[in-house]
Amino acid sequence: MAGLFSKLKEKLTKTDQKQQKSKLKETLTKTRESFVSKVKQLVTVHKKIDEELYEELEDILLQADVGVAATCRLMDEIRQDVKKRKISDAADLRNLLQGKMKELLGEDVSLQTDFPPPTVILVVGVNGVGKTTTIGKLAYRMRQEGKSVLMVAADTYRAAAIEQLEIWSERADTEIIKHMPGSDPAAVVFDAIQAAKKRDIDVVIIDTAGRLHTKVNLMEELKKVRRVITRELPDAPHEVLLVIDAATGQNAMRQAELFKEATDITGIALTKLDGTAKGGIVFAISEELGIPVKLVGTGEGIDDLDDFDSDEFVSALFADDEEDEYDEYGEEDEGEGDDE
């Protein structure tokens, strides 16, 4: 209790705060098109590096949900580098920025599924981001690799969530463990781990109910699920995937923080990149929390799932929307599937 009140007091009496330091300049006199302009174009228009170019780059980052703090940091660094290294060509500036952004994302890390069986993958996230769909796609991919897969219907809360997963398990041709709606998710998971051991399953993928990270009791429920898994299989879960909708704004940072705290996230699946949203918040998440993006979702179809590729991701961020870059991004190994 002492803690509560002293914190309250602290917060309520604090008046001056650290100043946000940045060189972001107001660009108030101009109203711009809502769609991001292409950097390539920018570069040819500007050729030389000037304030306007900086501003436009800044706008691109902000509109990609990179966030104020990360954008300011990036732009500050760029400006310093330009000065230090006497860069004057606008094209070099673009490369500089893209390089920095890739640095933020770190090395690409892929999902690990080759542990001594069963590999257990726990999938978590807020409501409606695409957990169940991602599981369907992932299971399908594992099946294509010849692995046996067990889906676990541990979302016992949302209406028809179990039926939804069942349909995906039919599509992907996997086994499934389910209980009645409303039953204890930890109990479903317990049964599933037992079954996986008995049936020599290679990969167990656990679907959980969507929950807002701020709901303490639901986060506790998730911790319990995790504890049950670890009790039954000491090295598991091997992967804990946080699913984030690419359209999410700055709140995704909170989601990552709190889900990390509760379940020790090992990677992010960034979904719905087939829209116009850029998913730029993952730069801040990667930088501040060190959680890598491992998978990207690019549609509602069963093979609309890709490994994360930071090169492509960063260039998509700077591409013009009219080019439908996300379709290209997603279709890369999709459409060609038939050729094999």
Partner 1 sequence: MFEGLAEKLQGTFKKLRGKGKLTEKDINDALREVRFALLEADVSLPVVKEFINSIRERSMGAEVLESITPAQQVIKIVNEELTALMGDKRSDVVFNSSGVTVFLIVGLQGGGKTTTAGKLALHYKKQGKHPLLVAADIYRPAAVQQLEVLAKQIDVPFFALEGETPVTIATEAVEHSLSHGQDLVIIDTAGRLHVDEELMEELQEMKDAVAPQEIFLIVDSMIGQDAVNIAKTFHEELGLTGVILTKLDGDTRGGAALSVRKVTGCPIKFVGSGEKLDALDPFYPDRMSARILGMGDVLSLIEKAQANVDQEKAKELERKLRTQEFTLDDFLDQIKQVRSMGPLEELLGMIPGLGGAKQLRKIQDEVDEKDFVYLEAIINSMTLEERNNPNIIKSSRRKRIALGSGRSVQDVNKLLKSFEQSRKLFKQLSEMGTGKGSRKLKSMKFPFM
8-to-11, 14, 15, 88, 101 alpha-carbon distances in Å: 5, 10, 13, 51, 38
> According to CB under 6 A, which one of 72, 149, 299, 316 is a site residue for ligand GDP?
299
> According to CB under 6 A, which one of 73, 131, 141, 226 is a site residue for ligand GDP?
131
Window 286 to 305, contacts with partner 1 (CB under 8 A): 300
At what angle are helices 281-289 and 251-263 packed, to 10 degrees? 40
- Determine, following the binding rule CB under 6 A, whether residue 300 of this chain makes contact with ligand GDP: yes
- Determine, following the binding rule CB under 8 A, whether residue 277 of this chain makes contact with partner 1: yes
Q: 307 touches which of ligand GDP, Mg ion, partner 1, none (CB within 5 to 8 A by kind)?
A: none
305-to-203, 208, 255, 331 alpha-carbon distances in Å: 17, 19, 22, 9
Q: Which residue is nearest to Mg ion (CB)?
A: 132
Instruction: Reduce the DSSP state of residue 137 to 3 states and report it.
Output: helix
Q: 217 touches which of Mg ion, ligand GDP, partner 1, none (CB within 5 to 8 A by kind)?
A: partner 1
Beta carbon of residue 132, minimum distance to partner 1 (angstroms, whole number): 8
Query: Which one of the spans 29-37, 109-117, 126-134, 172-180 is the region binding Mg ion (CB under 5 A)?
Result: 126-134
> According to CB under 8 A, which one of 40, 227, 249, 323 is a site residue for partner 1?
249
- Determine, following the binding rule CB under 5 A, whether residue 208 of this chain makes contact with Mg ion: no
> According to CB under 8 A, which one of 110, 254, 264, 335 is a site residue for partner 1?
254
Q: Which is nearer to ligand GDP, 92 or 312 (CB)?
A: 312
> According to CB under 6 A, which one of 119, 132, 148, 174 is a site residue for ligand GDP?
132
Q: Which is nearer to ligand GDP, 191 or 303 (CB)?
A: 303
Tell me which DSSP letter residue 300 carries. Answer: S
Query: Which one of the spans 32-40, 79-87, 189-197, 200-208 is the region binding partner 1 (CB under 8 A)?
Result: 32-40
- Across the beta sheet with 239-245, the strand order is 175-177, 149-154, 203-208, 119-124, 239-245, 267-271, 293-297, 305-307
Burial-class residue 59 by CB neighbours within 10 Å (0-12, 13-18, 19+): middle
Q: Which is nearer to ligand GDP, 263 or 298 (CB)?
A: 298
> According to CB under 8 A, which one of 221, 274, 306, 325 is a site residue for partner 1?
274
Taking the C-alpha atoms of residue 171 and residue 139, their distance in angstroms, rounded to an integer, is 10
At what angle are helices 39-46 and 51-63 packed, to 10 degrees? 170
> According to CB under 6 A, which one of 172, 179, 297, 326 is a site residue for ligand GDP?
297
Query: Using omega within 30 degrees of 0 as the cis cutoff, is the peptide bond preceding 237 cis?
Result: yes
Window 133 to 152, contacts with ligand GDP (CB under 6 A): 133
Window 258 to 277, contacts with ligand GDP (CB under 6 A): 271-272, 274
203-to-120, 195, 220, 221, 271 alpha-carbon distances in Å: 6, 12, 25, 23, 21
> According to CB under 8 A, which one of 39, 172, 281, 316 is a site residue for partner 1?
281
Taking the C-alpha atoms of residue 254 and residue 259, their distance in angstroms, rounded to an integer, is 8
Q: Which is nearer to Mg ion, 131 or 294 (CB)?
A: 131
User: In which region does residue 173 sit, left (phi positive, over 0), alpha (psi from -120 to 50) or beta (all else)?
Assistant: left
- Determine, following the binding rule CB under 5 A, whether residue 131 of this chain makes contact with Mg ion: yes
The residue behind tokens 């730029």 is 280
Taking the C-alpha atoms of residue 330 and residue 333, their distance in angstroms, rounded to an integer, is 7
Beta carbon of residue 335, minimum distance to ligand GDP (angstroms, whole number): 16
Instruction: Reduce the DSSP state of residue 270 to 3 states and report it.
Output: strand
Residues that bind ligand GDP (CB under 6 A): 125, 127-133, 158, 210, 212, 243, 271-272, 274, 297-300, 304
Q: Which residues of this chain interact with Mg ion, rule CB under 5 A? A: 131-132
